[in-house]
């Protein structure tokens, strides 16, 4: 009973009217991707996701994956394999991949819009092609020519999928503790031995081969993260000419029984002298790994966005239909026995929170994805450098905030349903369960927060932050004197100044006490997210006014006003928490934290 309607019109508005991607695409050599192509891709993606993937979401959750311990094989839920076949036949597997390897090379920002639909329609199913995109990026940037031909091409074509094998039982985000080893052979291959856990789509029945990208140590590797290399380890042994041989010595040992994403196979993968190939340079695996990881982090942020959108849609539909009590101001629908839920202020608060974070978050995510296009295609090296700096800064905000907001919004949406939200048939509890993992995998919220303030702001001297603040200043300067935007421009300009001031305060505190970094990080992440969305909501109002659609302009203005008046003030609490310092966190001894 849970539905999904792809937000094609808002995606079109975001891409064409707010971000102005047509002119950007023309400038970076993708001028063939005009409004007609963008609209055609969005419409066809909407059809596929609404009619093929969305109907499998609840049934896939209820059935889950099937694991055969004797063979180590995983079978996906009914309908998943056929959906994947249609996905490949539709050309979606190679949408943004290089043409040289069978892809369509459409912009990543357009691919991000399609990905949002997939994640909203069926998050668990979307995990199977998700890591293929990361593997594509790693092979594209770090693989040898023959590796691209042998491994990248079938991934782009959808005949194979990819994985990212990082985590081990004794180490999560601390990759310096990694133990998996790789022994060089006389023929240029390596034998990889070790156990990896939490491997998304590590085993399944959708494709004939799976390309595992595995972090491991060479025999002479230095300790810690300086001694990590990356290896291609296919499920089926694959020769340098692409010929498939016998099954490789890699096997799924089990699948996890999880809180959510039941239809996504999360595997324990055992490598027992499996044959593989080094990708990139020895002991330089982290560089290639971060190519995958940063791609995946942006992708997981978009997962959070998709869940917010779907939850918001269902909650709004239910609130309009469900009759409960009368409005505090008197009956709004006197011909009915009670008023619908939507008349009650706090129901509207929850609905508006979901809708505002969805539409503002969409602009944030698509803008980040547009930086990928600029970084890879802009003809000016300085513009590519600027895009890389901005992307690096935005990635932890997209990943950290959109996933945390997906938890907030799926719980708001469930709450709108009352008791019906808690039972399985309405599908709302599934959205809440599925959302929970997004704040954990591909780097927890805490990891994103430390990356933002520790590396992107302090270590890199705020290069990306300065660029984003520059966008805000440029917009506010251009709109000064525009009475239609006055209610947004002044508080946005002040928020940008406050953001800069708070950043400088944290930097000074960290110089005096390194613990201040960890104490401030998550609050700073959220602070940054709310200010970033204020910028995008002001931009949305300006664009809607320019388009000339009165209904759209009124909607965007009301939602922007809600963000500025209801959500942006959350920054005050985050700033107060940051300024309280690390002392209230670190005062107690470790054993005094227990009851």
Q: Which residues are catalytic?
A: 442
* Nearest one of 433, 411, 412 to 424, comparing CA atoms: 433
Q: Half-sphere exposure of residue 582, counting CA atoms within 13 Å on the CB side? A: 14
Let me know: does 251 contact 295? Beta carbons within 8 Å: no
Name the β-bridge partners of 229.
216
Specify the 3-state DSSP secondary structure of 256. coil
* Nearest one of 299, 358, 417 to 7, comparing CA atoms: 358
Q: List the structure tokens of 269.
A: 């993968």
Let me know: does 558 contact 487? Beta carbons within 8 Å: no
User: Residue 572 and residue 301: Cα distance in Å, rounded?
Assistant: 24
Q: Phi/psi zone of residue 229: left (φ > 0), alpha (ψ -120 to 50 degrees), beta?
A: beta
Let me know: does 167 contact 103? Beta carbons within 8 Å: no
Q: Residues with Cβ < 8 Å from 524, sequence gap 6 or more? A: 449, 452, 453, 502, 503, 506, 574, 578
Specify the 3-state DSSP secondary structure of 196. strand
Specify the 3-state DSSP secondary structure of 189. coil
How many residues belong to the chain? 595
C-alpha distances out from residue 408 to 160, 253, 457, 533, Å: 36, 35, 27, 16
Q: List the structure tokens of 564.
A: 């500025």
User: Residue 303 and residue 309: Cα distance in Å, rounded?
Assistant: 10
Q: CA 396: distance to chain centroid?
A: 10
Which residue is associated with the tokens 């295609």? 377
């Amino acid at each position: 009973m849970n539905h999904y309607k792809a937000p094609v019109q808002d995606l079109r508005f975001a891409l064409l009217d707010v971000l102005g991607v047509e002119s950007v695409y023309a400038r970076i050599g993708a001028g063939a991707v005009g409004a007609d192509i963008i609209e055609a891709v969005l419409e066809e993606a909407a059809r596929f996701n609404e009619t093929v993937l969305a109907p499998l979401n609840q049934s896939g959750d209820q059935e889950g994956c099937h694991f055969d311990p004797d063979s180590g094989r995983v079978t996906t839920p009914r309908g998943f394999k056929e959906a994947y076949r249609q996905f490949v036949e539709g050309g979606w597997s190679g949408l943004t991949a290089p043409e040289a390897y069978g892809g369509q090379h459409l912009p990543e920002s357009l691919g991000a819009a399609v990905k949002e639909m997939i994640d909203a329609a069926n998050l668990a199913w979307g995990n199977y092609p998700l890591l293929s995109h990361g593997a594509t990026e790693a092979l594209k940037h770090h693989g040898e020519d023959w590796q691209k031909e042998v491994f990248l091409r079938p991934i782009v074509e959808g005949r194979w999928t990819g994985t990212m094998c990082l985590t081990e039982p004794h180490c999560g985000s601390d990759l310096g503790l990694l133990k998996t080893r790789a022994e060089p052979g006389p023929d240029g291959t390596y034998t990889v031995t070790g156990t990896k856990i939490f491997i998304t789509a590590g085993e399944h029945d959708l494709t004939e081969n799976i390309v595992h990208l595995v972090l491991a140590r060479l025999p002479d590797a230095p300790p810690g993260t300086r001694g990590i290399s990356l290896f291609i380890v296919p499920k089926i042994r694959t020769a340098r000419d692409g010929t498939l041989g016998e099954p490789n010595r890699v096997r799924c040992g089990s699948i996890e029984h999880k809180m959510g994403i039941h239809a996504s196979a999360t595997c324990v993968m055992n490598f027992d002298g499996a044959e593989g190939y080094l990708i990139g340079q020895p002991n330089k695996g982290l560089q290639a790994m971060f190519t995958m990881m940063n791609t995946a982090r942006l992708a997981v942020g978009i997962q959070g966005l998709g869940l917010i959108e779907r939850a918001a849609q269902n909650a709004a539909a239910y609130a309009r239909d469900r009759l409960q009590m009368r409005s505090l101001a008197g009956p709004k629908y006197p011909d009915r026995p009670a008023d619908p839920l939507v008349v009650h202020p706090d129901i509207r608060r929850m609905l508006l929170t979901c809708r505002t974070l969805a539409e503002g978050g969409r602009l944030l995510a698509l803008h980040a994805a547009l930086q990928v296009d600029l970084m890879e295609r802009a003809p000016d090296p300085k513009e590519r450098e600027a895009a890389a700096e901005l992307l690096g800064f935005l990635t932890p905000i997209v990943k950290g905030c959109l996933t945390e907001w997906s938890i907030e919004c799926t719980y708001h949406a469930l709450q709108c349903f009352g008791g019906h939200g808690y039972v399985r048939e309405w599908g709302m509890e599934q959205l809440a369960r599925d959302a929970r993992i997004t704040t954990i995998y591909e780097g927890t919220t805490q990891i994103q927060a430390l990356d933002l303030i520790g590396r992107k702001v302090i270590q890199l001297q705020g290069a990306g932050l300065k660029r984003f603040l520059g966008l805000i200043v440029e917009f506010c300067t251009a709109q000064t004197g525009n009475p239609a935007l006055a209610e947004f421009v002044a508080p946005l300009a002040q928020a940008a100044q406050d953001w800069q001031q708070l950043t400088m305060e944290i930097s000074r505190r960290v110089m005096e006490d390194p613990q201040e970094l960890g104490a401030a990080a998550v609050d700073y992440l959220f602070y940054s997210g709310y200010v970033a969305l204020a910028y995008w909501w002001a931009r949305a109002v300006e664009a809607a006014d320019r388009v000339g659609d009165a209904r759209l302009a009124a909607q965007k203005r009301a939602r922007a006003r809600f963000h500025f008046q209801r959500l942006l003030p959350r920054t005050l609490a985050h700033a107060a928490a940051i300024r309280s310092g690390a002392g209230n966190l670190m005062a107690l001894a470790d054993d005094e934290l227990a009851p």
